[in-house]
Amino acid sequence: MARGTGPANAESVCMDWAQQWEQALPYAEFLERHGEPRHRERWQRIYEQVALGEGQRSLLAGFTRRMHLLCLAGAWCGDCVLQCPILERMQKASPSIAVRFMDRDAHADVQDALVVNAGRRVPVVVFLSEDFEECARFGDRTLSTYRRMARERLGDAVPTGAAPPPDDGYLAAVAADWVDEVERVQLLLRLSARLRKQHAD
């Protein structure tokens, strides 16, 4: 998982994320504009399988800081099929989470700003505060996915820190990775001296 808390390169320092947000699309509109019927069917199948636990839903519902999650994705992308429906489920669980999507190939400037390990990978999410300050980035695969890939491709040659999730728990593990990261950024925002001053809390 490529992960960071600041701009990845000099170009991204100048990115106007509020402007990009205005160009981005809600989940259904993104799929309608950029997905073919076979893509939309795959995304819907995963969406129906994503089940946040009661504790996760309660956690997300309790968020108080507004968060904007801007996701660069591709309707054709297998990693996006697995992860983007999780983002939509989290948005539905919390009035404080707003998610929008941008097509990688339709937004070259955003694609260039979000290069991961010298590659144009998706999905990549930029976490933005209520006033569109960049707070973090998360992409292109979660830790559970990389653990699984390492076990399959590298065997015991690389320690992973934990056993990869079983097949029947894989989607839940990926969702848990995302919930953890969203919680981390929510706490970053909740503890921000700048925002606490603004909200007098």
- pLDDT > 50? residue 195: yes
- The pLDDT tens digits for 130-181 are 999 999 999 899 999 998 998 888 887 767 666 667 778 999 999 999 999 9
pLDDT for residue 11? 44
CATH of domain 2-192: 3.40.30.10
- What is the enclosing helix (H) or strand (E) of 147? helix 143-154
Q: How far apart are CA 166 and CA 173, in angstroms?
A: 9
The predicted pLDDT at position 167 comes to 72
Residue 35 has pLDDT above 80, yes or no: yes
H/E stretch holding 3 reads strand 2-4
Mean pLDDT of 177-199: 98
Task: Inform me whether the pLDDT recorded for 94 exceeds 60.
Answer: yes
* Position 5 pLDDT exceeds 70: no
| pTM greater than 0.85 (yes/no) | yes
pLDDT per residue as tens digits for the range 49-71? 999 999 999 999 999 999 999 99
User: Could you give the strand order of the β-sheet that contains 67-73, starting from the edge strand earlier in sequence?
Assistant: 2-4, 134-139, 124-128, 67-73, 97-103
Phi, psi of 72 (to 5 degrees): -85, 125
Is the CB of residue 69 less than 8 Å from the CB of residue 99? yes
* β-bridge pairing 97-103 and 134-139: unpaired
103 Cβ neighbours under 8 A, 6+ residues apart: 30, 33, 34, 73, 74, 75
What is the pLDDT at residue 7? 42
Domain ranges, ordered by start, for the chain: 2-192
- Above 50 in pLDDT, residue 6? no
C-alpha to C-alpha distance for 28 and 194, rounded to whole angstroms:
34
Residue 132: the pLDDT is 98
- The pLDDT score that the predictor gives to residue 1 is 39
pLDDT in tens, 108-124: 999 999 999 999 999 99
Residue type for position 63: F
